[in-house]
Amino acid sequence: MRIGTNPEKENNQLTYESYHRVVIPVYIPNLEEDYFKDGLKIFELCIKSLLKTVHSKTRISLIDNGCCNEASDYLQQLFNTHPEIDQLLKSKINLGKVNAIYSAVKSNLEPLITISDADVMFLDNWQTEVEQVFRSFPEAGMVSPVPSSIAYRGKHLNSTIYYALFKGKLDFKTVEDRNGLEKFQESVGRTMYNENHLSKYLVVSNRRGEAVIGCGHFVATLRAQVFEKSPKGPSRLKIVGGSENKYIDIPNDQSGFLRLATKNNLAYHLGNSYEEWMNDTMRQITRNEKESYLSTEELNNVQSINGIKIRIGAILHKILFRKFKRQYFQIKGIKGDY
């Protein structure tokens, strides 16, 4: 039997003070296997660096995605002691990366959502510079604090290429943090970049700012509108296999949004093996004292590329960046393999 009236019926409008949410799925099933033995130590660096660098208009969702007891206990401790971490979602089984992320992004109201792997170290000013890209490019839908000079090769950059060729200006510019690129390829255990890649990257500019073309998935900030274009059902894949393309890259491109990265390297992909330099870098990260926010007007200033222009971008991406890439890049000042 129900007695009385639920007071929330009189105050039924959802409100929120934050505008930027960070979502991190954590999968550390054990600490015995070689692949996972440093997992908790790596995640500690991730979350501590995040807590030191986010501004006060940020909230954090952690997802216990089938973790072992030690990792689950640490996640619960974080939730209990840090007000910025206002959500801890728990699953006894591994839901897969995309499904874990969507369990949080589909139920929150913030207009900007950063999705991150649990092995990312956030550096000073990452959030300020990412948000500055959204300020400079109202058409941006996905922005990473980690630039990659080969991200232009991605398939789902049609809106980005159209914008760069017709609305902005596209040039090769000097890489601002060569060490960041080198550390990323070390973290994935394979050579990704040649000398040209370590020296120059493709930059789109307008009168308000500059950004690198393309970005990866391991850490990126997205407009909430991107997720509205995602498939309705859950992903059937735990990881890779095109799941991130289907649920993140394609919705961003089909929404007519740009996929970009900051020019500075503002986060590190740590991988699964602890190294001493990580602790040294962690000690150098400082808590933001002067916070910078996006205004409501800036957050609502969302623009996009329309369908016909997206198709034009697709054609030009194929012609200029694949079929006649060498000739086009020579015109842009790049000699040799890129």
Convert the pLDDT of each residue in 104-149 to its tens digit. 998 899 999 999 999 999 999 999 999 999 999 999 999 999 999 9
The pLDDT assigned to 199 comes to 95
The pLDDT assigned to 226 comes to 95
The pLDDT assigned to 23 comes to 98
Q: What's the rounded mean pLDDT across residues 83-97?
A: 94
Averaged confidence pLDDT in the chain: 92
* HEC assignment per residue over the chain: CCCCCCHHHCCCCCCCCCCEEEEEEECCCCCCCCCCCCHHHHHHHHHHHHHHHCCCCEEEEEEEECCCHHHHHHHHHHHHHCCCEEEEEEECCCCCHHHHHHHHHCCCCCCEEEEECCCEEECCCHHHHHHHHHHHCCCEEEEECCCCCCHHHCCCCHHHHHHHHHHCEEEEEECCCHHHHHHHHHHHCCCCCCHHHHHEEEEEECCCCEEEECCCCCEEEEEHHHHCCCCCCCCCCCCCCCHHHHHHHHHHHHCCCEEEECCCCCEEECCCCCCHHHHHHHHHCCCCCCCCCCCHHHHHCCCCCCHHHHHHHHHHHHHHHHHCHHHHHHHCCCCCCC
Q: What's the rounded mean pLDDT across residues 185-191?
A: 88
Q: Pick from 147, 262, 158, 156: which is nearest to 216 by CA?
A: 147
Question: Can you read off the two tokens belonging to residue 318?
Answer: 């194929």
Delineate the domains of the chain, giving CATH numbers in brackets.
17-275+300-331 (3.90.550.10)
Question: Can you read off the two tokens belonging to residue 198?
Answer: 């370590």
> Between 69-81 and 39-53, two packed helices, what is the crossing angle to 10 degrees?
10
pLDDT in tens, 26-82: 999 999 999 999 999 999 999 999 999 999 999 999 999 999 999 999 999 999 999
Name the pLDDT band for 2 (thresholds 50, 70, 90): low
pLDDT in tens, 175-185: 999 999 999 99
Question: Can you read off the two tokens belonging to residue 234?
Answer: 């859950």
CB 160 within 8 A of CB 252: no
Name the pLDDT band for 171 (thresholds 50, 70, 90): very high
- Least trusted range by pLDDT, from 21-35, 93-107, 259-273: 93-107
Residue 86 has pLDDT above 70, yes or no: yes
Residue 238 has pLDDT above 80, yes or no: no
Cβ atoms within 10 A of the Cβ of 70, count? 13
The pLDDT assigned to 235 comes to 75
Strand partners, 170: 204
Q: What's the rounded mean pLDDT across residues 192-216?
A: 96
Higher confidence at residue 119 or residue 7?
A: 119
- Do you know the residue count of the chain? 338
Question: Can you read off the two tokens belonging to residue 127?
Answer: 């959030």
pLDDT in tens, 149-170: 999 998 899 999 999 999 999 9
Encoded amino acid at 315, one letter: I
Residue 38, exposed/middle/buried by CB under 10 A (0-12, 13-18, 19+)? buried
The pLDDT assigned to 5 comes to 61
Q: What's the rounded mean pLDDT across residues 207-222?
A: 96
